Amino acid sequence: MLKLENISVIFNKGTSLEKVALEDFSATIQDGDFITMLGSNGAGKSTLFNVITGALKPAKGKIFLDSEDITRQKEHVRARYIGRLFQNPEHGTAPHLTVEENLALAYSSGKYGKFSLAVHKQDRAYFQEKLKTLDMGLEDRLKTPIGLLSGGQRQAVALMMAVLNPPKILLLDEHTAALDPKSAQKILEITNELIQKEHMTALMITHNIQDALDNGNRLFILNEGKLIQDMDFAQKSQLKPADILNYYAV
43 in a structural domain: yes
Beta partners for 35? 203, 218
Residue 92: the pLDDT is 80
Query: CA-to-CA distance for 84 and 194, rounded, in angstroms?
Result: 14
56 in a structural domain: yes
Distances (CA, A) of 193 to 40, 134, 189, 231: 28, 9, 6, 22
Res. 248: pLDDT tops 80: no
221 in a structural domain: yes
Res. 250: pLDDT tops 60: no
244 in a structural domain: yes
Number of domains in the chain: 1
Query: CA-to-CA distance for 206 and 220, rounded, in angstroms?
Result: 11
Res. 249: pLDDT tops 60: no
155 in a structural domain: no
- 206-225 pLDDT, tens digit each: 999 999 999 999 999 999 99
Helix (H, G, I), strand (E, B) or coil at 57: coil
Range of the domain at 18: 1-81+204-209+217-249
Confidence grade of residue 89 (pLDDT, cut at 50, 70, 90)? confident
Which pTM value belongs to this model? 0.92
Residue 112: the pLDDT is 55
- 44-88 pLDDT, tens digit each: 999 999 999 999 999 999 999 999 999 999 998 998 899 999 988
E strand or H helix that includes residue 68:
strand 68-69
Residue 114: the pLDDT is 58
CB 1 within 8 A of CB 27: no
131 in a structural domain: no
SS3 content of the chain, % helix, strand, coil (to 5): 40, 25, 35
- Report which of 207, 155, 205, 161 is spatially closest to residue 184, judged by C-alpha positions: 155
47 in a structural domain: yes
Task: Return the CATH number at 18.
Answer: 3.40.50.300
53 in a structural domain: yes
CB 151 within 8 A of CB 95: no
Query: CA-to-CA distance for 155 and 203, rounded, in angstroms?
Result: 17
Lowest average pLDDT, out of 118-122, 132-136, 169-173, 177-181, goes to 118-122
Res. 230: pLDDT tops 90: yes
E strand or H helix that includes residue 126:
helix 121-132
